[in-house]
């Protein structure tokens, strides 16, 4: 069953965040993930959610998404991101 990693990000230091943006695609690809959305235009349709940047990545399974998250490649990306965001929320949700 496919799974989707969804992140809601508020970037506070765009220059520092570029290090994360450079490293994360390789980590995602290494574990079979693919971007479905990477900070494109968005519109809140209902509720009071006010995301700044939304990223959606598809993986073949939730287990594969977890392997990506725990990987040395993504740990390096997370380290590069340190101090570059005010908010970074991430979930994995199984699809249908």
Mean pLDDT of 60-87: 98
Q: Which of 36, 28, 32 is nearest to 78 (CA)?
A: 28
| pLDDT value of residue 65 | 98
| Domain 3-42+51-94 in this protein, CATH class | alpha beta
- Listed in sequence order, the residues at least 6 apart from 1 whose beta carbon sits closer than 8 Å to its beta carbon are 61, 62, 94, 95, 96
Instruction: Tell me the pTM.
Output: 0.92
Burial degree of 74 (CB within 10 A; 0-12, 13-18, 19+) = buried
Q: Give the pLDDT score at 57.
A: 98
pLDDT of residue 79: 97
Q: For tokens 């990506």, what's the residue?
A: 68
**Extended beta strands in the chain, E state:** 3-11, 34-38, 53-59, 85-94
Determine the pLDDT at residue 82: 97
Q: What is the pLDDT of residue 56?
A: 98
Q: What is the pLDDT of residues 19-40, one digit of tens each?
A: 999 999 999 999 999 999 998 8
> Token digits for 51?
């995301």
- Res 29: pLDDT: 98
Ordered by start, the domain boundaries in the chain are: 3-42+51-94
């Amino acid at each position: 069953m496919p799974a989707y990693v969804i992140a809601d990000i508020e970037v506070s230091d765009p220059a520092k965040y570029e290090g994360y943006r450079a490293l994360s695609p390789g980590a995602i690809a290494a574990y079979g993930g693919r971007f479905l959305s990477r900070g494109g235009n968005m519109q809140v349709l209902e509720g009071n959610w006010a995301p700044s940047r939304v990223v959606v990545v598809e993986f073949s399974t939730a287990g594969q998404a977890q392997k990506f998250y725990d990987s040395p490649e993504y740990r390096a990306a997370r380290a590069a991101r340190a101090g570059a965001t005010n908010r970074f929320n991430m979930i994995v949700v199984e699809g249908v």
